[in-house]
Amino acid sequence: MVRIQDDLFEAVNAEWLDKTEIPADRPRIAAFDELVINNEKTLMTDFATITEFDEPVMNAFAKFYKKAGDFVERFEFGTEPVKPEIDKLLAITDFETLTTQFADLILNSQVPVPFGLSVDTDMKDAVHYALTFSGAGLILPDTTYYAPEHPRKAELLAFYTENTIDILKAFGFSADDAKTNVANTIAFDAILAQYVNTSEEWAKYAELYNPVVIEDFTSKLTTVPFASIIETLVGSLPEKVVVYEKRFYEHFDQIVNAANFELMKSWMLVKLIRSATHYLSDELRILGSEFSRQVSGTSEARSQEKHAFDLATEQYSQAVGLYYGHKYFGEAAKADVKRMTSEMIKVYQERLNTNTWLSRATIDKAIKKLDAMTIFIGFPDQLPEIYKQFTVNHDSIYSHIARFNVVRSHRHYEKFHEDVDKTEWHMPAHMVNAYFSPDSNTIVFPAAILQQPFYSATEQTPSQNYGGIGAVIAHEISHAFDNNGALFDEFGNMNNWWTDEDFKAFEAKQELMIAEFDGLEIAGAKVNGKLVVSENIADAGGLTAAMTAALREPEPDLTAFFTQWGEIWRLKASEAYQQMLLSMDVHAPGKLRANVQASNLDEFFETFNVKVGDGMWRDPAARVKIW
């Protein structure tokens, strides 16, 4: 029997780890996933029995949901719904013609293009939008998979090749044409992999902000008429374009050019067709998802019923979330969670006021940021207007998705000339998650996460709730002061409000957190400390603040607090999936989140009488403390 003193995660989750099996249609099972599965069952039961909703958008959702599950109709439509876009792409015979059609492809089709132009909140002017530029997505999960020594590179590319050939043949391509298109796609993907951002680079959010004045941008990229494309997308030329992927930008003309036209055209064709399989017959749906299952180590495709649920709720996510929030989230829970949030903001203010490594000037500005923080709990007040443009008729599911996406694309670029809506939620209420938005200084807690083991007003003690949802709430507050969030002010603008000396001290503490996790071995691979540092800073601050708040409750119980903390990170996953996450996920593995962060707190050692020689022991000097 494992003792808490040796391994908190294994000890508190022993029975769960022994009895719980990973569902065949998922790569993992975790505390988060158990709530997802439960919510899925609840909503599927509701939607199977309700004939009429109060909200008109939900009635449109119900029609779409029914259509998504009609696999007889999907079989009868075959691949015909995709043919017009395939034919349009195949009709393009030269690079120059392709470049004249990029804007139309972006706005009005499902055909992917080999670059990204997006409208995002301007990091330095958070009430306005900026046009941003990025590269294209890769076949393999992450740039590290392209290293010659990566153990899965050859295997995955071989599987992708055979799987894609089978898909193209199902669309009527000859074996030779299929092989040529797949070979071209892999060749173009290899070019992209040299220049797109690594996961570690994406994780350094503030460093993505590289503004380029429009004249320099359009003159630098000579192979594509970007001035014309941008004017078509947003109606005018902006003063600047924010470049997110500098290497891709610097080498763009070497990537997207006439010499690579055939490779690029095949890449666009293959990506279009592979994406389309998700919305076609059941045979094609399952065939099209084989590669992603191979990557993640998932043994089975989702059932028809679950697939229809996934597809419909994805398209109408905020509407389903609002339905869920109204039906299943109570005002009492909202008030209690709001109280806990206020308590932990107060804890943060107090800890900042007694901070010994920051100057008063920086402390005052940090507290000012805390005071300005906006908190959203449960669900938003209203639905986005865009859902009113989604109509459901006799067309194929693919045609519906295509129409919905065109509506989304046009709306996306329309926003460029509007002010940023700071009240917009970026997660639906039925999603089991939470987030901090640095560009609005907002923390959001959707209704679905406010359940056991994270929270229960009746089944869990205050100490347990603080070890669960309390630590999650404080984690999101802490993101305002992680290595990325700390660079944004109380208004959401990227603005260095630190003194130089204080920021150097903060960077030194970041290095300690990086070193604490870097190289830790799990699932046959190692943790990249730089990749996971922002989430680890948030975990450390969150656990500390939640514990402080728990100790102020009547009859505090740190045994229950730390036990709950260990339980919320319970997880079982395929080795392939865990290794994939280690290469690209900014979160540390669940077991390490539970154990390492607990071992940074002196109170953990006192609570469980952990001594030198125990597995959880960490020398006091090696315990990393930031917030």
How many whole angstroms separate alpha carbon 15 and alpha carbon 372?
43
Q: Radius of gyration (Cα) for the chain, nearest Å? A: 25
How many whole angstroms separate alpha carbon 591 and alpha carbon 578?
11
How many whole angstroms separate alpha carbon 544 and alpha carbon 272?
47
Report the candidate in 456, 424, 430, 418 with the shortest Cα–Cα distance to residue 442. Answer: 424
DSSP state letter for 469: I
Q: Which structure tokens are listed for 226?
A: 């970007």
Q: Is 139 exposed, middle or buried, given 0-12, 13-18 or 19+ CB atoms closer than 10 A?
A: buried
Residues β-bridged to residue 607: none
- What is the sign, positive or negative, of the torsion defined by CA atoms of 523, 525, 529, 532? negative
Q: What residue type is 422 in one-letter code?
A: K
How many whole angstroms separate alpha carbon 543 and alpha carbon 546?
5
Q: Count how many residues are written for the chain.
A: 627
Active-site residue identified among 343, 535, 539, 585: 539
How many whole angstroms separate alpha carbon 202 and alpha carbon 197?
6
Q: Are 84 and 399 in contact (CB under 8 A)?
A: no
Q: Is 619 noted as a catalytic residue in this protein?
A: no
How many whole angstroms separate alpha carbon 40 and alpha carbon 430?
9
Helix (H) or strand (E) holding 572: strand 571-573
Q: Are 482 and 506 in contact (CB under 8 A)?
A: no
Report the candidate in 111, 400, 84, 404 with the shortest Cα–Cα distance to residue 271. Answer: 111
Q: Which residues of 611-627 are buried (b: 16+ CB within 10 A; e: fewer)?
A: eeebbbebeeeebbebb
Residues β-bridged to residue 118: 132
Active-site residue identified among 33, 476, 516, 535: 476
∠565-569-573 over CA atoms, to 5°? 165
Three-state DSSP state, 494: strand
How many whole angstroms separate alpha carbon 281 and alpha carbon 374?
45
Q: Which structure tokens are listed for 621?
A: 């000097």
Q: Is 177 noted as a catalytic residue in this protein?
A: no
Active site residues: 476, 539
